[in-house]
Structure 1
């Protein structure tokens, strides 16, 4: 697992997130603070975005995550961020998350392309057995997006995560197994791209 990994297809390029990417993502941080409404952390405003990226880089140093900046090849712009995290090479599991895009890029298909290259890397290069996704259960748009790429809803962890506003969120847990990826999910996702 190396931080120099670049993932891409015909639509997106995911390259390692770096501290200087604050400048590439600041427009979203300053103008779209609602991006982090369903997250226990925030990148809204320059200072918070610097901390958000700084923590992602610390996690990468400790081999806990691989954070990426998302570049849309069709429009030649950086549009958001995503990452692989809670990487467990012994159990062969990881999570995909911390995914966010500027609002004008949502619903454009870019998320499916990002998830495709991340899943392909997780199952075919890292040889993971299970890839998990989590979302605030009240964020039905995000849960629907995960289901649309082939995730199975496994259940809900009640009162799982303390949010910035003090409430405790219920967390939906979804996953894709290695056998599912190779048997059906990869091909179905490829047809949607």
Structure 2
């Protein structure tokens, strides 16, 4: 069984980053990104790219947590003392001991700063060492080469393409599936990521 109690508050952090459960009060913390940085939503399935869409995005994330399917976080950069974006565990399958990591996005000023590596390290460490999952999966727009390469660079294994598996604002998208298994985390991925931090 996955060791995750949805009625408990999980904040995950290190000296660089804090991941804490998203709340409706985070609307103000994320509004700038929704309104002022439209280019960051290019590969987003559910872009919070307006006030109304941001409200829906936050409410949907909270409802998914209540349904025990997801555990969404807001990302806080301790180096700049600013909120930087969001991420979550999703598609959590207790019986199969699997989960996805996704819905991850950062404001432009936080991209390429190493924040994502800290975020992925904390999430993967929590998933494999606290939740006791056997597999973490990533679904990425096949055109999002930057994210695919970032996941490959930390040791995620590409598994293939799901064709036309999601509806997006301007049609359909194909998704690249990548994964990390529990033994891979302990054998290689953890040390690879630690060296990159």
TM-score range, shorter chain: over 0.9
CA distance, structure 1, for counterparts of residue 79 and residue 9 of structure 2: 23
Aligned to 2:38: 33
Q: Structure 2: 5+ residue runs without aligned partners?
A: none
TM-score normalized with structure 2 length? 0.95
Aligned to 1:86: 91
1:178 aligns with 2:182: yes
Q: Structure 1: 5+ residue runs without aligned partners?
A: none
Give 1:21 shift.
0.2
Alignment of 1:133-148 (within 5 A): 133-148=138-153
Give 1:34 shift.
2.1
Residue 101 of structure 2 is aligned with which of 92, 96, 101? 96
Give 1:46 shift.
1.1
CA distance, structure 2, for counterparts of residue 78 and residue 39 of structure 1: 19
TM-score normalized with structure 1 length? 0.97
Aligned length: 192
Kept in 2: contact 1:30–1:45 (CA 8 A): yes
Give 1:91 shift.
0.1
For residues 100-126 of structure 1, the C-alpha deviation after alignment (integer angstroms, 9 at most, x for no partner) is 000111000000000000000100001
CA distance, structure 1, for counterparts of residue 61 and residue 40 of structure 2: 17
CA distance, structure 1, for counterparts of residue 154 and residue 68 of structure 2: 26
